[in-house]
Amino acid sequence: MKIAFFSDIHANFPALESFFDDLDSQQVDAVYCLGDLVGYNVWPNKVIHAIRKRSIPTLMGNHDEALLEPISKEAPQSNRTLTRSLVSDENRAYLINLPRHISLSFVTNDKPFNLLMVHGSVKAINDYMVEDYPEAEVLEMMKSQQEDVLLCGHTHKPFHRVIKDESTFKHVINIGSVGKPKDGDPRICYAIVELGQSTSSFNPDTLSVTFKRVAYDVEKAAQAVENSDFDNSFAEGLRLAK
């Protein structure tokens, strides 16, 4: 089973187009989006339309969740206010009703092998699951959900961490960001995870994780920000991947 996971598009349609172009060449069996379709750029509706057109199962991200809040609580030129003004009523209704977790259960080596998708962490939609997150807390979260693999986004910094838990191994995979990388590499980032009947929680090497980096027209996305009411710092963030 070959599964693609992507996240944090943040209304960056040129980046999403490049992602789909690359994805179509990967021959994956399934695709999941871990949220944050909107924010920081001018194409939220085009991004949402493209993902819905492909019927991709999608989680709610914290920027999607923000559309639940009354617009009057934000400053007139804030990211959230500008995003709210751009998102259509139909697309807002889609975003605020997205699920917060998606779980996949497999049987490998005649034993259950479970994957949990979140945006931030099991604790909160806006929790930063960084690579050095306290090990004991990670294991507690994963044990509470009986998961072998935790997939997340939100930090925009990809990593694959393996944690030994007595005789088994747990995997934490932060899949990075398609539309707003923050690891110094402006190319889009997504993850492909492969598992099969050899996959086992007793052997960490039996789960294959590949991070895909793909170039896109960063300047087009940055200039769209600069030609809008969004803060120009968001454009520099795209160029510098910070």
Residue 77 is predicted with a pLDDT of: 79
Residue 19 is predicted with a pLDDT of: 98
pTM: predicted TM-score of the whole model, two decimal places: 0.96
Range of the domain at 69: 2-240
Q: Are 102 and 31 in contact (CB under 8 A)?
A: no
Residue of 227, 224, 218 whose CA lies nearest to 187: 218
Triad 101, 24, 201: Cα angle to 5°: 45
User: What percent of the chain clears pLDDT 90, i.e. is strictly above it?
Assistant: 94
Residue 72 is predicted with a pLDDT of: 62
Q: Which residues pair with 104 in a beta bridge?
A: 115
Find the CATH number of the domain harbouring 185: 3.60.21.10
Q: Are 119 and 153 in contact (CB under 8 A)?
A: yes
What total number of domains does the chain contain?
Answer: 1
- The pLDDT tens digits of the residues spanning 36-72 come to 999 999 999 999 999 999 999 999 999 999 999 876 6
Q: Cα–Cα distance between 161 and 159 in angstroms, integer?
A: 6
Residue 70 is predicted with a pLDDT of: 72
Residue 162 is predicted with a pLDDT of: 98
